[in-house]
Chain A
């Protein structure tokens, strides 16, 4: 009965979402207290109902209930427990249910922690969340119902796509959705603000944590996906500019911009319509991503089984939600006037330029992703846009952005003297130029561009550290006092320091792994050894092993450098029992300077095996940098203060030895 209870709970949630989406927002318009008060209980009820529904589906997967179509298509009794659970969202229907569950979680979170919100704003925000839920639940129930039954039930299921049977990918979608759907909160806040015709620092104060949460989850989701591609696809690459990857990257760029412009709005009461615009566009790109992945309009290697029929519905949702929001924006945004002006050279200016660069980058990725579609629709042929385009556009945009990122924290609000900022970054600047030149000379095969990339990342890292040093006035005052100051730094500032230095480290990793990857493909017999990037790889043995639901050919490699200690690495090639689909499981050994990466292929007629061996420089740096960025968002989130940015008068700028009080990324 549990399955049917879950099904009914979802239907009831649909009805509830309609109540949530209408009465409170109407009540807010006519200032009707009791209707506005409905927003919170209905949001919580919504969460409860969808949770029941989701739990019911999960239990059906755990118990391999093959009277459910979705379980038949995506599960098998032989599947390990973890993948029975991840099977719930490893398919279209279940992932859409996860989508609305997370939407309801955010709604419930706003209802729970939004007690200090103005009742009218809260009612409007929750109503908009309710309407979003209503649209998506209609979509789920009538086009992709996970509770469709089969009678009589088949004996066993068809198993989950083996590529998706991986711990990395098991948690990739939930994280990514927590990010995507998290942007629905800022969207709801933006639309509510447009309806009210009122955007102010208080509003920004309420929006910022939600943007931060969404950004943190989106970052971890993207990184996890990239990590999965890196070791599961066996190509040694971690980013392919695939439409599906772009679909998650575009909202990330927009969310990053939103995060920073919300800071400006909170502290300086300006950039109002820009912030609202970013909030809308970030969520629009999230839904667009969902559309791209599921409709089959732009197909991709890791797309869900696409179905144009579903595409129509998602497109309709996209048009209704985002279209309405944009029209509202066109109509109401002129009412939003900032109270503060600022000079181009100021912290606001720096942030605005970077915001602009992020938005342009996002737009150019959108263009690249949709370009094949445009060409196709205009009947100019069929083309695909690949990495060369994206690299050519993205890198020149990101380089100035990173340079400004290092500088902006040294500028004051409202107006700044660029020379003062520069003078404080003298050492960082000189050091990073030295790094650039040093890499160029020392590293063989170093291109100017790659060396420059490393130099840029060094600049960001050093500038971020200098900013911290300046803030605590290290060497300016006694050391002990500096330490005290360090400990008293607001957590928001720590967040910025962590996130910016994380990005610096990640950029170094990306540059190095793209530019100096060493790869070697060969046939190897047991006993053979080969030298790659200074390491000796010896194939000691090849064994057949049996996993819980697959058979694998496992190579045993002994890897050593200059006869130092041997490391044993075991790449596998698996054949999954049910689907007979082969997958490669690369063996990866991270070292400080790079990953050793082995893939074993098919057996040749002469008994040898094809092996692919890579040395991927600085790849671990990428993961480490990403972890720092996520950590930064968490630390920053714990900072619950209300802040305001202090502009500096010209006089002060010249005289004061102390530095701008507030950091930007808090």
Chain B
């Protein structure tokens, strides 16, 4: 009996332990749909309808030609409320347009109601009940934000709320670099 020959079996056991754990996690958050990193790839074509009460929706062509932020939000998302103040600050700052994707609202009116209550930081908003836009950006959960360059490439992705620190240290520098390019 030479232990070295059991190394593959041991390695296999370790991998399997992780797979089992991973499966448990996957079961917890099913149905999730997390595409591979789309960073530095162009946004795939999408076209979203307007949410009720708004004239225009959001489509791929809106993102071309300027550096912008795309933010995924939903009225059911607690962290979005937290992030919302930061978005309003970015809006008043006025350097960069924020586009919203209103993701998976159970009720079509709850998104607009949420905006009326807290204020609307978005230039344009697309309604995304079927995750068409979410898939185009590879959204895993809300809130999630993307910095898009002039050519429509995703250059930065933030999962979770944009905190002031993150804005100062990461997002703003990226945006300035893209604008000055």
Contact = CB atoms under 8 A, between A and B. Distances in A.
A604 to B, nearest CB: 5
A587 to B, nearest CB: 16
A327 B21 contact: no
B140 A602 contact: no
A602 B47 contact: yes
Nearest to A336: B5
Given A284-B12, A610-B60, A610-B61, A382 B23 contact: no
Contacts of B16: 315, 318-319, 323
Interface stretch (B28-36, B68-76, B86-94, B97-105): B28-36
Nearest to B9: A326
Contacts of A300: 35-36
Interface residues of A, number: 59
A394 interface: no
B14 to A, nearest CB: 10
A295 B26 contact: yes
A587 B44 CA distance: 17
A376 B159 CA distance: 14
Given A311-B26, A334-B1, A584-B45, A377 B21 contact: yes
A374 B16 CA distance: 11
Interface residues of B, number: 44
Nearest to A326: B9
B36 A295 contact: no
B146 to A, nearest CB: 14
Interface in B26-73: 26-27, 30-37, 39, 41-42, 44-45, 47, 59-61, 64
Contacts of A487: none
A329 B4 CA distance: 11
Contacts of B36: 240-243, 300-301, 384, 386
Nearest to A281: B8
Interface string A320-356: 0011001101110110000000000000000000000
Contacts of A309: 27
Given A386-B37, A610-B60, A602 B45 contact: yes
B119 to A, nearest CB: 27
Contact of A330 (B5, B47, B59, B64): B5
B19 interface: yes
A582 interface: yes
A330 B6 contact: yes
B152 to A, nearest CB: 6
A161 interface: no
Nearest to A601: B45
A610 B152 CA distance: 11
Contact of A298 (B7, B21, B22): B22
Interface in A574-617: 582, 584, 601-602, 604, 610, 612
Contact of B35 (A301, A323, A334): A301
Contact of A323 (B9, B18, B21, B45): B9
Contacts of B15: 370
A312 interface: yes
B64 A299 contact: no
Nearest to A387: B37
A311 B61 contact: no
Nearest to B153: A521
Nearest to A305: B31
A235 B42 CA distance: 7
B145 to A, nearest CB: 15
Contact of B20 (A243, A299, A315, A374): A315
B106 interface: no
* Chain A CB within 10 A, most for which of B19, B32, B34, B47: B19
Contacts of B20: 315
A277 interface: yes
Interface of A: 233-235, 237, 240-243, 273, 277, 280-281, 284, 291, 295-301, 306-309, 311-312, 315, 318-319, 322-323, 326-327, 329-331, 333-334, 370, 373-374, 376-377, 382, 384-387, 521, 523, 573, 582, 584, 601-602, 604, 610, 612
Interface of B: 1-2, 5-9, 12-13, 15-16, 18-23, 25-27, 30-37, 39, 41-42, 44-45, 47, 59-61, 64, 135, 138, 140, 151-152, 159
14 contacts: A234-B44, A284-B12, A297-B19, A297-B23, A301-B35, A306-B31, A311-B23, A330-B7, A330-B8, A330-B9, A373-B18, A382-B140, A573-B45, A582-B45
Ordered nearest first, which 6 A-B pairs have the shortest CB separation?
A330-B6, A326-B9, A386-B37, A308-B27, A377-B21, A301-B35
